[in-house]
Amino acid sequence: MTKKDNILIVGAGLCGSLLALRLGQRGYNISVYEKRPDLRKIDISAGRSINLAFSDRGIKAMKLVGLEEKVKPLCIPMNGRMLHDVAGNTVLAPYSGREHEYINSISRGDLNALLLDEAEALPNVTIYFNHKSTEVDFENSIAHFYQYETKSEVSKKADVIFGTDGAGSSLRKSYYLGKKFLFSFSQDYLTHGYKELSILPAKNGGYKVFKNALHIWGRGDFMLIALPNLDGSFTVTLFLSYAEGEYNFNNLTTKEKVLEFFTTYFKDALELMPNLIDDFFENPTSPLGTVKCSPWHYKGNTLLMGDSAHAIVPFYGQGMNASFEDVVEFDKYLDDAQDWESVFKAFEKSRKIDTDAIADLAIDNFHEMKGHVNNAIFREKRNLEMALEKNFPTEYSSKYSLVTFNENIGYYKAMTQGRAQDKAMLNMIADHDISISEKTSKEELAAILKKVQTETENILEEDRIAKNM
């Protein structure tokens, strides 16, 4: 491998444009081919998630490419979950007991445009739009495209091809259909789908509800969430079963039924959404799926990265952050690299365990957000965690904090440690071994921390013995 290598990237979404920027900064010759038109020129947001939760793993990647300051103006801090109950009461549940830890709402389009601008500013990076990848000949490193403008097929040969073409990846499909090697693959759909709605800005251009939170209307079997946008609006998402329950996507077919559903379960949200019915019937209902696969690479010819290798459900707000972290992790192998195959192999070997973990964590959080946030033991655990994080900021991090704010701990370690902590605390709370109230002193908290740490270690040790024998 040399700096003269011609690198082809399929897909100029968030992961592809960041990868192009980073490899461009390293001096490779980069051609990026994107299916859609240039989003800086045409609004192509319809049907896609238009804002995202952006947190420390994503910020780590911005630091790597020198964009930390440029991305800041795009961010709206969200300090916690604003929980809305059926009666319209709200409570803010912070994400962390440490004040400097929060997540951000960011526009997918704005962030992608920034990355495209920066990548395209490099002389050795060229981006082509309106090229839909139809197949990748991974044995000969040739990517085949359909060019929408000329309505013709084009084929491009490269030294190395990266597939950053998202959950429906064409490169991954070529691996699967090619049957040239044993390709492990899974696509798992939830029984729930999602639909985007919106809360428009107030008449004065301000926010109709509290700006700096991720709003959640959790109703056990379904939920509504809202994230703020810079223009004063919120992007709202309804997560609901396709076919089960009294109300579901299959039976919400009339204006009356939709209004009845929202009046019953989301009355305070409905009052903020006079545009609900239009949004509901104009916007598509989309599925929620997890994709895992292996191997990600074929020899030193091709590599899947980002959603194409590991698409996850959105409930941990980590999809984009995980894809950005892919680029950071991949970059580490380039300094001393001998050949692409060794780089690809080493990257997958160290990275896959972490992307598998965040996929599983994201499913966990679906259940947590829908229902557990309203459960008494869960809420006591969260209260306790906030107190521990506040009083012992260097000694305790919740699972959420480990995943979201500890970008130097891998997802797998965060999951293992975080689940053991949760299990320890939930059981000790259920057994009345530990509890928290406003009167709990710092000394009492220190004793609780000790108990939690000891029990967490026991749980991890018992699992180790059961697994390794």
The residues that touch a copy of itself, with contacts defined as CB under 8 A, are 182-189, 242, 287, 289, 292, 372, 375, 377-378, 419, 422-423, 426-427, 430, 462-463, 465-466, 469
Tell me whether strands 29-33 and 51-54 are parallel, antiparallel or unpaired. Answer: unpaired
Q: How far is the CB of 246 from a copy of itself (least distance, A)?
A: 19
Name residue 286's beta-bridge partners: 194
Name which of 23, 31, 248 is nearest 142 in CA terms: 31
User: Which residue, 208 or 379, is less far from a copy of itself as judged by CB?
Assistant: 379
Q: Is residue 49 within 8 Å of 61, Cβ to Cβ?
A: no
Amino acid 305 reads M
User: Which residue, 87 or 466, is less far from a copy of itself as judged by CB?
Assistant: 466
Q: Is residue 327 within 8 Å of 305, Cβ to Cβ?
A: yes
Q: How far is the CB of 341 from a copy of itself (least distance, A)?
A: 13
Q: How far is the CB of 389 from a copy of itself (least distance, A)?
A: 20
Q: How far is the CB of 220 from a copy of itself (least distance, A)?
A: 12
- CA–CA gap between residue 309 and residue 355 (Å, rounded): 9
Phi-psi region of 47 (alpha: psi -120 to 50; beta: other; left: phi over 0): left
User: Which residue, 321 or 365, is less far from a copy of itself as judged by CB?
Assistant: 365
Amino acid 226 reads A
Angle at 278 between CA 76 and CA 13, to 5 degrees: 45
User: Which residue, 68 or 457, is less far from a copy of itself as judged by CB?
Assistant: 457
DSSP-based three-state secondary structure for 433: coil
Q: How far is the CB of 132 from a copy of itself (least distance, A)?
A: 17
- CA–CA gap between residue 53 and residue 405 (Å, rounded): 12
User: Which residue, 124 or 294, is less far from a copy of itself as judged by CB?
Assistant: 294
Q: How far is the CB of 117 from a copy of itself (least distance, A)?
A: 36
Q: How far is the CB of 430 from a copy of itself (least distance, A)?
A: 5
Angle at 70 between CA 68 and CA 75, to 5 degrees: 85
User: Which residue, 201 or 245, is less far from a copy of itself as judged by CB?
Assistant: 245
Tell me whether strands 302-304 and 223-228 are parallel, antiparallel or unpaired. Answer: unpaired
Q: How far is the CB of 363 from a copy of itself (least distance, A)?
A: 12
- Evaluated on CA atoms 311, 316, 321, 326, the torsion sign reads negative
- Evaluated on CA atoms 367, 90, 405, 388, the torsion sign reads negative
User: Which residue, 176 or 281, is less far from a copy of itself as judged by CB?
Assistant: 176
User: Which residue, 146 or 378, is less far from a copy of itself as judged by CB?
Assistant: 378
